């Protein structure tokens, strides 16, 4: 726990002040993840929960230590109560004598000490407090894992969008060269104004796509900064030109073997232990409890309000003992409380079963997506190479007057679509690898 807080503090001091809002921050994906681990609010909140658990343990331990309390009272009796005593006590048989007991003012102060000797619920509560600390520690790790996935996913999307800019820019440059050539031909009465305008229209369409892509990139960067815990006003640049996740594609994975190492499984098991301890805590109500006590009192009684007069007496009273409490019958309340608590344990078993099936599904889907995307990438790479060759040949034929302009423009669109599809498939492949690493609980490897 302390190591985690120290590491988070170090990362915060290292990454937090390192960037100014006037100077863009250039981060690789591992650096972005480390920054998020030090600055994301969800992780900070999880660390505070761990801190709270430590205080809860100390609170539970404190209930087993001596409990000392002080008390004091000052009573004024404007009219004392009257009691009737038999007249025989005063030599007046057959009569009753009214008598008032007490004084007008009574002051008392004292100390009370209680010490638990045996209470079953104390030991169960102490174990539950330690289990709660373990639970919060696991939840912190889960928060870190979620942030690693979100940051990595957002980073890859920003990177894919930047690569899409390269595709648009390359196509825009090709159209610009074509436009210059057509403009020159138009001036020499070789090309028509319609041909020039068609290329110009395609250029404008590309410019509009670029503007849309610029807005999308800004939104993706904001999402990345949000997950990182970075101020939205901070300028952020992606340092990586490409991120390669070299996760081998397995033929199959044993979900039952993997689930035991997953944080979600550990969290559910810890919650199950807490619910079991709750059952034990309710059962402990059937056990007797034994406490020691001691009282010391110092009191005075006056008919005049002169308690500060040192010549007037004060009287001491001391008592010590033990108090045994034995539960006998509670109207079956505790029995039904135990049954309710046991239902919570059974529900956790269902959650564990659901997690097992979810893990199996996530692994299977991730492997299928990786295989599909890898095949699609290979196909799209061949498709891009073919589209480039077709565009180059068509462009040469157009320059020689053997191909119409429409074919050049069509092949340019086909090349652009092929490059866009390739970028999309690469993103799908990397996101599938992220999902696979998350299912296996190996996202921490991304920080290396």
Digit-coded pLDDT (tens) for 257-312 = 778 888 899 999 999 999 999 999 999 999 999 999 999 999 998 888 888 888 88
CATH at residue 69: 1.20.1600.10
Question: Quick count: other Cβ atoms within 10 Å of Cβ 437?
Answer: 21
* Residue 238 covered by a domain: yes
* Residue 153 covered by a domain: yes
pLDDT exceeds 60 at position 15? no
Query: What is the maximum span of the chain, computed from C-alpha positions, in angstroms?
Result: 150
- The pair of structure tokens assigned to 327 is 């539960």
Mean pLDDT within 152-178: 88
DSSP character string of 39-108: H-HHHHHHHHHHHHHHHHHHHHHHTTS-EEEEEEEEEE-SS--EEEEEGGGGT-TT-EEEEE-S-SEEEE
- The pair of structure tokens assigned to 437 is 């690493």
Query: Using an 8 Å Cβ cutoff, are 32 and 224 in contact?
Result: yes
The dihedrals phi and psi of 307, each to the nearest 5 degrees, come to -70, -15
d(CA 140, CA 7): 13
Q: Over the stretch 306-331, which tens digit does the pLDDT of each residue have?
A: 888 888 889 999 999 999 999 999 89
pTM: 0.79
Whole-number Cα distances in Å, 432 to 228, 230, 254, 424, 437 = 21, 26, 18, 12, 9
pLDDT exceeds 70 at position 142? yes
Strands 82-86 and 96-100: antiparallel
Q: Over the stretch 97-129, which tens digit does the pLDDT of each residue have?
A: 888 888 889 999 999 999 999 999 999 999 999
If phi > 0 it is left, if psi is from -120 to 50 it is alpha, else beta; for residue 73 that is: beta
- Which domain covers residue 378, as residue numbers? 2-79+119-293+330-447
Q: What percent of the chain has pLDDT over 90?
A: 45
Among the listed residues 114, 86, 217, 125, the one whose alpha carbon sits nearest the alpha carbon of residue 164 = 217
Total domains in the chain come to 1
- The pair of structure tokens assigned to 395 is 């462009």
d(CA 433, CA 248): 9
Assign 21 a pLDDT band (cuts: 50, 70, 90): low
Assign 14 a pLDDT band (cuts: 50, 70, 90): very low
Looking at every residue in the chain, the average pLDDT score rounds to: 86
pLDDT exceeds 90 at position 134? yes
pLDDT exceeds 80 at position 448? no
* Residue 393 covered by a domain: yes
The dihedrals phi and psi of 351, each to the nearest 5 degrees, come to -65, -40
Mean pLDDT within 420-444: 86
pLDDT exceeds 70 at position 347? yes
In this structure, the chain runs to a length of 448
Q: Over the stretch 381-427, which tens digit does the pLDDT of each residue have?
A: 999 999 999 988 888 887 777 778 888 888 888 888 899 899 888 88
Question: At which residue do the structure tokens 């074509």 appear?
Answer: 178
- The pair of structure tokens assigned to 442 is 């190996």
Torsion of CA 26, 30, 35, 37, to 10 degrees: 170
Q: Over the stretch 170-223, which tens digit does the pLDDT of each residue have?
A: 888 888 888 888 788 778 777 778 888 888 888 888 889 899 999 999 999 999
Predicted pLDDT at 251: 62
* Residue 39 covered by a domain: yes
pLDDT exceeds 70 at position 9? no
* Residue 396 covered by a domain: yes
Mean pLDDT within 350-358: 91
The dihedrals phi and psi of 305, each to the nearest 5 degrees, come to -80, 80
Strands 236-238 and 25-27: parallel
- State which of 52-56, 167-171, 368-372 shows the largest mean pLDDT: 52-56
Mean pLDDT within 5-32: 59
Query: Using an 8 Å Cβ cutoff, are 136 and 286 in contact?
Result: no
DSSP state at residue 330? -
Predicted pLDDT at 152: 93
Mean pLDDT within 333-338: 94
For residue 403, what are the β-bridge partners? none
Q: Which three-class secondary structure state does DSSP give residue 153?
A: helix
d(CA 134, CA 150): 25
* Residue 16 covered by a domain: yes
Whole-number Cα distances in Å, 253 to 144, 308, 347 = 24, 85, 27
Strands 67-76 and 105-118: antiparallel
d(CA 317, CA 314): 10
Question: At which residue do the structure tokens 């078993």 appear?
Answer: 349
Q: Range with the lowest mean pLDDT among 82-96, 210-224, 346-360?
A: 82-96
User: Taking the chain, what is the end-to-end CA distance rounded to the nearest angstrom?
Assistant: 22
Question: At which residue do the structure tokens 């077709």 appear?
Answer: 390
* Residue 92 covered by a domain: no
Predicted pLDDT at 383: 92
Is the torsion defined by CA of 188, 192, 193, 198 positive or negative? negative
Q: Over the stretch 40-61, which tens digit does the pLDDT of each residue have?
A: 999 999 999 999 999 999 999 9
* Residue 52 covered by a domain: yes
Question: At which residue do the structure tokens 């020689």 appear?
Answer: 400
Predicted pLDDT at 327: 93
């Amino acid at each position: 726990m302390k190591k985690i807080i120290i590491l988070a503090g170090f990362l915060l001091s290292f990454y937090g002040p390192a960037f100014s809002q006037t100077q863009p921050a250039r981060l690789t994906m591992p650096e972005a993840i480390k920054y998020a681990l030090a600055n994301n609010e969800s992780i900070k909140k999880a660390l505070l929960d761990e801190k709270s658990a430590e205080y809860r343990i100390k609170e539970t331990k404190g209930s087993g230590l001596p409990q000392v309390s002080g008390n004091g009272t000052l009573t004024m009796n404007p009219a004392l109560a009257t009691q009737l005593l038999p007249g025989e006590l005063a030599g007046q048989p057959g009569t009753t004598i009214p008598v008032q007991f007490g004084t007008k003012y009574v002051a008392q102060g004292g100390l009370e000490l209680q010490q638990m000797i045996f209470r079953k619920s104390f030991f169960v509560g102490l174990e539950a407090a330690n289990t709660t600390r373990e639970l919060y520690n696991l939840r912190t790790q889960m928060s870190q894992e979620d942030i690693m996935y979100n940051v990595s996913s957002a980073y890859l999307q920003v990177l894919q969008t930047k690569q899409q800019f390269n595709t648009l820019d390359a196509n825009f440059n090709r159209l610009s060269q074509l436009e210059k050539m057509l403009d020159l031909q138009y001036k020499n009465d070789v090309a028509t104004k319609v041909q020039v305008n068609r290329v110009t229209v395609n250029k404008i369409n590309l410019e509009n796509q670029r503007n849309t892509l610029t807005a999308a990139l800004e939104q993706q960067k904001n999402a990345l900064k949000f997950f990182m815990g970075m101020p939205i006003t901070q300028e952020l640049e992606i340092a990586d030109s490409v991120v390669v996740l070299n996760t081998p594609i397995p033929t199959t994975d044993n979900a039952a073997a993997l689930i035991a190492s997953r944080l979600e499984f550990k969290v559910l098991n810890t919650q199950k232990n807490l619910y079991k301890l709750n059952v034990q805590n309710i059962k402990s109500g059937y056990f007797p409890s034994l406490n020691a006590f001691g009282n010391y009192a110092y009191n005075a009684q006056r008919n005049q309000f002169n308690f500060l007069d040192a010549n007037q007496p004060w009287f001491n009273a001391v008592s010590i003992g033990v108090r045994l409490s034995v539960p006998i019958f509670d109207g079956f309340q505790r029995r039904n409380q135990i049954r309710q608590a046991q239902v919570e344990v059974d529900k956790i078993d269902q959650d564990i079963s659901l997690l097992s099936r979810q893990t199996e599904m996530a692994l299977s889907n991730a492997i299928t997506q990786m295989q599909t995307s890898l095949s699609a990438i290979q196909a799209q790479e061949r498709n891009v190479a073919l589209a480039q060759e077709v565009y180059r040949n068509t462009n040469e034929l157009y320059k020689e007057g053997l191909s119409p302009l429409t074919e050049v423009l069509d092949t340019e669109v086909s090349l652009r679509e092929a490059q866009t599809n390739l970028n999309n498939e690469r993103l799908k492949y990397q996101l599938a690898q992220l999902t696979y690493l998350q299912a296996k609980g190996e996202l921490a490897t991304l920080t290396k």
